[in-house]
């Protein structure tokens, strides 16, 4: 079968142009990602070795999906393609090459929490005011220096940067950056930005290494190229320099990461970098209805800084875009949940046809509550990652320390957890002793009697001996045995087991889940090295979405617009379309910021295939106070002929500008409503389900005879029905639909379940 038949002529031409530089700048839904996918399959069919192909995607999930599609065409060879995010691919390369640039191969990856914790410690040591030197600000400044390839030394010599810091009242910024970099180095750790920064250092300083990878990666492809930063741009440019078989695809109208240093110029300058580039235009949108495509075009037309593009759809006209107004965020949630039920029934759609998109993570709460009330199963993307939970991080810190005892953030995290009588004063003493002697913390800990006295010397000494014993186990045992040994002997399992609160139980279950994951990893056949340090390597790079156990589950998707990039759903709800929320209050200072918000709106709108719903609330709790809200200017900017307003059209006038006059009408009404006492709202940010109070005398019963269809009660999740059982004893997984929470998958041997 000619699989290229699934492409239109321009897409096909781009796929077949395998040699030389290629660029596709095209609107949303025009098949850019599809071109990359087909291109890779085509290359492999043309007998290019998959090991020679490098594909950089924006999320791990996108890479996984692409790989699966390619597998359908070329079979299991697709496993050998180098495909993933910039961070995961270059972490993998650094694992091989780190020693060249003075890092151990098993360097730790510091996640955002580790970075902030280290920065806080440095600020404290330097006696700096952490209001002025706000840790997020400091982090952002260092991050942007790294993404622009400015080393600490260069930063401190750069008059312009230093002057800027002085003007902002933060003259010590350069020194903080210097100390931070030294401390990461001492700890054998790289933060997220280092993964790119150090890759650049490596490729710049070691021509033979650069040569090796230039010849390995004969074909390079980058999706979402508009969101690459300078550091990423330079890596790609260096790697592609020999063969110049580089294909980048992107859409300047979807550049939404400038706040993280992404540089739209990379796409605009591509032609300068590669003068003989072949440019392909894709103009047909295959994703959305005419109404949605035209509405999206009408939004982006408001941006001054835009490449001319002509995007059209040959799909049906489709429904108008529904605009709903609610009195509060809770009511907005209710409207959305009811619309989902209605549309699901009317059009026989599965839940996974629906997505709810919002500007900020905090907005998910009201949505989740309403979905739960109507028993609508949902999945929250990009929420706190499983690997970010405290108990998971604690245990992982022990793992990290076992393989890299110099990892200072891990050391500080667990030196006294579970409690073993090593107080803050002792930890301070260790830090001071290390700094004074230019030692690493671990050198002090491992030689505690030289630096500490009495009881603290003994406790710290015991801790060091324990870690050393973990190292011995780690060298000789499988990942799972090592992990289990550490969980038991560190005291973590016992500590959590003894905590009988609902939260304690959940934490214990999470640890079990982590251990199960490690067991699965130990048993995998597709990887050679299965020791715990290999499992550990990329844990810091995993997000909630990568931990998705059941990607085909029938659930409504909830995520921020940033996280929705590249995805598509039949029905999309964009909620919270209010001034100061979307566009964000923080983005109203300049045209360029406002234009980025508008691009974000464009991204959101173009996720929808068949039907788009917009909504806003006229009042919303933010930061604990109730605010009146105005509808977003973005609604006004949409050509009204595509809209279907769900409120009284008579107050809004008959035609263009309808929305504006309506706004005035409802504002007066609202004001009256709010002269009354404010409703009391219990603020909660927890996304966890409310604890289920078990019926009297809860005792898990024998579930070995559990069958599909049976009714069960879970200690925390409440009543539910078994919808599926899979796997073999003792690892049977049950999928249960809980009345209050929707679908969940549980490992039977750990589940606190009772047959009712
Ligand atoms: P975005 O800018 O949002 O990332 P994109 O340009 O990458 O979008 P794709 O996701 O590749 O677009 O394609 C959008 C949808 O259109 C997908 O469902 C894809 O399978 C479909 N599609 C693209 N090209 C064709 C085609 N020639 N025939 C049929 N379907 C197509
Ligand atoms: Mg895409």
Q: Which among 140, 125, 194, 113 is positioned nearest to 400, based on CA atoms?
A: 113
Q: Name the closest-CA residue to atom 19, ligand 1.
A: 31
Q: What is the mean pLDDT of the chain?
A: 87
So what's the pLDDT on residue 383? 66
3-state SS of 646-713 is CCCHHHHCCCCCHHHHHHHHHHHHHHHHCCCCCCCCCCCCCCCCCCCCCCCCCCCCCCCCCCCCCEEE
Distance 599 CA to ligand 2 centre (A): 15
- Would you say 220 and 232 are in contact if contact means Cβ atoms under 8 Å apart? no
Interhelix angle 479-489/454-476, rounded to 10 degrees, is 160
Please report which confidence band the pLDDT of residue 686 belongs to, taking 50, 70 and 90 as the band edges: very low
- Placement of tokens 């839904």 in the chain: 29
Task: Using the predicted structure, report yes or no on whether residue 498 has a pLDDT greater than 80.
Answer: yes
Distance 311 CA to ligand 2 centre (A): 15
Report the greatest alpha carbon distance in the chain.
84
So what's the pLDDT on residue 534? 87
Mean pLDDT, range 273-293, rounded to an integer? 95
Query: Is 305 a pocket residue for ligand 1 (Cβ < 6 Å)?
Result: no
pLDDT per position as a tens digit, 9-63: 999 999 999 999 999 999 999 999 999 999 999 999 999 999 999 999 988 888 9
206-215, 388-397, 648-657, range with greatest mean pLDDT: 206-215
Task: Using the predicted structure, report yes or no on whether residue 689 has a pLDDT greater than 70.
Answer: no
pLDDT per position as a tens digit, 233-261: 999 999 999 999 999 999 999 989 887 77
Angle 118-119-125 (CA atoms, 0-180°, nearest 5)? 90
Mean pLDDT, range 350-358, rounded to an integer? 97
So what's the pLDDT on residue 306? 77
Cα end-to-end span (Å), the chain: 53
CB atoms within 10 A of CB 622: 16
d(CA 598, CA 638): 11
Question: Which strands sit side by side in the sheet containing 246-250, from one edge to the other?
Answer: 82-85, 53-57, 219-222, 246-250, 22-25, 278-280
Task: Using the predicted structure, report yes or no on whether residue 701 has a pLDDT greater than 80.
Answer: no
- Respond yes or no on whether the N-terminal peptide bond of residue 583 is cis (omega within 30° of 0): yes
Query: Is 33 a pocket residue for ligand 1 (Cβ < 6 Å)?
Result: yes
Interhelix angle 135-147/192-205, rounded to 10 degrees, is 20
The DSSP bridge partners found for residue 736 are: 722, 744
Mean pLDDT, range 596-623, rounded to an integer? 94
Secondary-structure breakdown of the chain: helix, strand, coil percentages, each rounded to the nearest 5: 50, 15, 35
More confident residue, 222 or 656: 222
d(CA 223, CA 739): 41
Which residue of 29, 224, 257 sits with most ligand 1 atoms within 8 Å of its CB, as the best mutation to test the pocket? 29
Query: Is 39 a pocket residue for ligand 1 (Cβ < 6 Å)?
Result: no
More confident residue, 4 or 385: 4
Helices (H), 75-172: 86-97, 112-125, 135-147, 152-157, 159-167
Task: Using the predicted structure, report yes or no on whether residue 544 has a pLDDT greater than 70.
Answer: no
**30 in a labelled binding site:** yes
Please state the atom number of ligand 1 nearest to the C-alpha of residue 34.
11
Interhelix angle 173-186/112-125, rounded to 10 degrees, is 120
Q: Which among 331, 298, 325, 307 is positioned nearest to 601, based on CA atoms?
A: 298
Mean pLDDT, range 619-631, rounded to an integer? 84
Query: Is 3 a pocket residue for ligand 1 (Cβ < 6 Å)?
Result: no
- Would you say 385 and 371 are in contact if contact means Cβ atoms under 8 Å apart? no
Distance 32 CA to ligand 2 centre (A): 5
Q: Name the closest-CA residue to atom 24, ligand 1.
A: 31
Q: Name the closest-CA residue to atom 14, ligand 1.
A: 29
Ligand nearest to the CA of 607: 1
Ligand nearest to the CA of 12: 1
So what's the pLDDT on residue 308? 80
Task: Using the predicted structure, report yes or no on whether residue 698 has a pLDDT greater than 90.
Answer: no
Q: Name the closest-CA residue to atom 13, ligand 1.
A: 31
d(CA 600, CA 585): 14
Q: Name the closest-CA residue to atom 30, ligand 1.
A: 286
Angle 325-331-335 (CA atoms, 0-180°, nearest 5)? 70
pTM exceeds 0.95, yes or no: no
347-361, 429-443, 673-687, 734-748, range with greatest mean pLDDT: 347-361
- Respond yes or no on whether the N-terminal peptide bond of residue 319 is cis (omega within 30° of 0): no
Ligand nearest to the CA of 62: 2
> What is the share, in percent, of the chain residues with pLDDT greater than 70?
90
| DSSP letter assigned to residue 269 | T
State residue 71 phi and psi, 5-degree precision.
Answer: -60, -35
Mean pLDDT, range 632-637, rounded to an integer? 94
So what's the pLDDT on residue 546? 64
Provide the token pair at 31.
């098949």
Q: What is the ipTM of this complex?
A: 0.99
d(CA 253, CA 600): 9
Please report which confidence band the pLDDT of residue 211 belongs to, taking 50, 70 and 90 as the band edges: very high
d(CA 688, CA 693): 15
- Would you say 76 and 68 are in contact if contact means Cβ atoms under 8 Å apart? no
Q: CB-side exposure of 296: number of CA atoms within 13 Å?
A: 31
Task: Using the predicted structure, report yes or no on whether residue 583 has a pLDDT greater than 90.
Answer: yes
Q: What is the DSSP string of 367-424?
A: HHHHHHHTT--EEESSSS-GGGSHHHHHHHHHHHHHH-TT-HHHHHHHTTSS--S--H
Which residue of 35, 286, 562, 563 sits with most ligand 1 atoms within 8 Å of its CB, as the best mutation to test the pocket? 286
Mean pLDDT, range 285-309, rounded to an integer? 91
More confident residue, 267 or 103: 103
């Amino acid at each position: 079968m000619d699989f290229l038949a699934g492409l239109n002529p321009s897409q096909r031409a781009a796929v077949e142009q395998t040699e030389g530089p290629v660029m596709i700048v095209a609107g949303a839904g025009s098949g850019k990602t599809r071109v990359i996918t087909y291109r890779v399959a085509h290359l492999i069919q043309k007998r290019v070795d998959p090991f020679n192909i490098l594909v950089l995607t924006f999320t791990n999930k996108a890479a996984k999906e692409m790989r699966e599609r390619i597998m359908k065409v070329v079979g299991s060879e697709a496993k050998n393609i180098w495909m993933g995010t910039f961070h995961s691919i270059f972490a993998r390369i650094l694992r091989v090459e780190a020693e060249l640039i003075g890092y151990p191969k098993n360097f730790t990856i510091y996640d955002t929490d580790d970075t902030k914790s280290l920065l806080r410690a440095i600020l404290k040591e330097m006696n700096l005011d952490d209001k002025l030197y706000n840790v997020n600000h400091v982090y952002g400044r260092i991050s942007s220096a790294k993404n622009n390839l400015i080393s600490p030394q260069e930063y401190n010599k750069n008059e312009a940067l230093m002057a800027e810091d002085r003007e902002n009242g933060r003259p010590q910024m350069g020194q903080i950056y210097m100390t931070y970099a030294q401390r990461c180095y001492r700890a054998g750790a790289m933060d997220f930005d280092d993964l790119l920064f150090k890759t650049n250092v490596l490729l710049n300083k070691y021509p033979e290494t650069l040569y090796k990878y230039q010849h390995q990666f004969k074909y390079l492809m980058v999706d979402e190229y508009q969101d690459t930063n300078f550091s990423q741009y330079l890596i790609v440019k260096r790697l592609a320099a020999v063969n110049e078989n580089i294909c980048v695809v992107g859409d300047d109208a979807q550049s939404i990461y400038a706040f993280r240093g992404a540089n739209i110029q990379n796409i605009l300058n591509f032609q300068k970098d590669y003068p003989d580039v072949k440019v392909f235009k894709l103009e047909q949108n295959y994703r959305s209805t005419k109404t949605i495509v035209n509405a999206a075009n009408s939004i982006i037309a408001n941006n001054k800084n835009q490449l001319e593009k002509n995007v059209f759809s040959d799909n049906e006209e489709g429904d108008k875009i529904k605009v709903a107004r609610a009195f509060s965020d809770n009511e907005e949630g209710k409207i959305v949940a009811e619309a989902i039920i209605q549309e699901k029934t009317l059009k026989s759609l599965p839940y996974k046809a629906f997505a709810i998109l919002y500007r900020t993570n905090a907005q998910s709460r009201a949505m989740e509550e309403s979905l739960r009330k109507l028993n609508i199963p949902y999945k929250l993307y990009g929420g706190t990652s499983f690997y970010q939970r405290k108990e998971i991080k604690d245990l992982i810190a022990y793992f990290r320390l076992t393989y890299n005892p110099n990892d200072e953030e891990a050391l500080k995290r667990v030196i006294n957890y579970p409690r073993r009588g090593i107080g803050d004063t002792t930890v301070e003493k260790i830090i001071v002793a290390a700094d004074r002697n230019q030692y690493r913390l671990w050198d002090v800990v491992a030689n505690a009697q030289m630096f500490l006295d009495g009881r603290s010397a003994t406790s710290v000494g015991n801790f060091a001996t324990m870690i050393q014993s973990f190292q011995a186990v780690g060298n000789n045992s499988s990942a799972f045995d090592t992990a289990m040994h550490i969980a038991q002997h560190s005291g973590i399992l016992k500590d959590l087991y003894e905590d009988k609160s609902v939260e304690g139980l959940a934490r214990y279950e999470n640890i079990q889940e982590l251990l199960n994951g490690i067991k699965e990893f130990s048993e995998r056949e597709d990887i050679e090295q299965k020791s715990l340090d290999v499992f550990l390597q990329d844990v810091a790079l995993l997000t909630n979405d990568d931990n998705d156990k059941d990607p085909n589950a029938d659930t409504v998707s909830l995520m921020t617009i940033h996280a929705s990039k590249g995805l598509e759903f039949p029905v999309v709800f964009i909620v919270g379309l209010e001034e100061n929320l979307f566009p964000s209050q923080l983005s109203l200072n300049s045209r360029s910021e406002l234009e980025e918000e508008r691009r974000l709106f464009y991204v959101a709108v173009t996720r929808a295939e068949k039907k788009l719903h917009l909504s806003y609330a006229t009042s919303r709790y933010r930061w604990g106070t109730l605010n009146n809200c105005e509808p977003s200017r973005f609604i006004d900017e949409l050509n009204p002929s595509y809209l279907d307003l769900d409120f009284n059209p008579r107050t809004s006038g008959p035609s263009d500008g309808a929305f504006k006059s309506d706004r005035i009408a409802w504002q007066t009404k609202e004001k009256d409503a709010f002269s009354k006492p404010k409703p009391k709202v219990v603020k909660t940010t927890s996304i966890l389900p409310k604890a289920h109070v078990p019926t009297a005398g809860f005792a898990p019963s024998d579930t070995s005879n559990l069958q599909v269809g049976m009714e069960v009660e879970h200690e925390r999740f409440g009543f539910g029905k078994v919808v599926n059982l899979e796997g073999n004893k003792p690892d049977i997984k049950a999928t249960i639909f809980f009345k209050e929470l929707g679908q969940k998958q549980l490992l039977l041997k750990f589940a606190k379940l009772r047959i009712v």
